[in-house]
Amino acid sequence: MKWSRRRIAALTAIAATLVFAAVAAAGAGLGNGDFERGNLDNWSVASNGPGAWFVYSGKQAPPAGATIDRPPQGTYAAVAGQFGPSQTALYRMLSLGTSKTQQISFYVYYRNECGTTFAPYLQEYRIEILKGGVDPLTNDPADTLRTLFVTKDGDPAAMKPTLERYVLSGLGGHVTLRFLASADCAPMTAATDAVKLQSAS
């Protein structure tokens, strides 16, 4: 399903009706990490091009109704959708403190309409810990403290919801958690759910 002028024009037509949450998280808690408020409260969205993050339920992702797995827990999850070539980031600030090692966990899943092709297109799903305060759409490796997940050329065209856990050893203070979907040749429907931050055992 390659990009079409009709799909890009459709996004332009409805752009004025789309409102995205841009609320920064406060403190170390992860309120609405499971998206069960049915919105993106405590999360922020930044986009370059006709793409964005949405909360969804069921098996269709906004804005174009792309097929995606049901939320793996609860009723709602977060998903990236596009009408044309774009990058879109779902992100929030985390306070890791200084005295305890933290562990972060979340479900990760996606459908790549380019099939198993990721390169040479900018077609990928990345989940990273960035320095606090950097541009959420940054591609500068110097801004990345830890890469938690990234798709590669040859990976499956779709990934079922999988619970991932990562120990954030050696990190402290204020950082940014980013879920970045890049779609160049076709939609990259990336999703997450049940994002939790806790002390590592």
How far apart are the C-alpha atoms of 78 and 39, rounded to whole Å? 9
Provide the pLDDT confidence category of residue 182 given band limits of 50, 70 and 90: very high
Q: What is the pLDDT of residue 120?
A: 78
Q: For residue 106, what are the domain limits?
A: 5-199
Q: What is the pLDDT of residue 4?
A: 60
Rounded to an integer, the average pLDDT of 128-146 is 96
Provide the pLDDT confidence category of residue 112 given band limits of 50, 70 and 90: very high
On the question of pLDDT at 43 being above 60, the answer is: yes
Q: Which of 12-16, 48-52, 70-74, 94-98 has the lowest mean pLDDT?
A: 12-16
Q: What is the pLDDT of residue 3?
A: 57
How far apart are the C-alpha atoms of 195 and 200, rounded to whole Å? 15
How far apart are the C-alpha atoms of 6 and 129, rounded to whole Å? 36
How far apart are the C-alpha atoms of 165 and 171, rounded to whole Å? 15
Provide the pLDDT confidence category of residue 1 given band limits of 50, 70 and 90: low
Q: Considering only residues 9 and 137, tell me which one the structure prediction assigns the higher pLDDT.
A: 137
Q: Which one of 15-19, 146-150, 167-171 scores highest in mean pLDDT?
A: 146-150
How far apart are the C-alpha atoms of 101 and 160, rounded to whole Å? 29
Q: What is the pLDDT of residue 63?
A: 86
Q: What is the pLDDT of residue 28?
A: 35
What average pLDDT does the chain have? 86
Contacts of the segment 68-72: beta carbons below 8 A, 24+ positions apart: 68/109, 68/111, 68/189, 68/191, 69/109, 69/160, 69/161, 69/191, 71/35, 71/193, 72/107, 72/109, 72/161, 72/163, 72/193, 72/194
Provide the pLDDT confidence category of residue 175 given band limits of 50, 70 and 90: very high
Q: Which of 26-30, 77-81, 102-106, 128-132 has the lowest mean pLDDT?
A: 26-30
CATH number at residue 177: 2.60.120.260
Amino acid in position 189: T
Total domains present in the chain: 1
On the question of pLDDT at 2 being above 80, the answer is: no
Rounded to an integer, the average pLDDT of 15-26 is 32
On the question of pLDDT at 68 being above 80, the answer is: yes
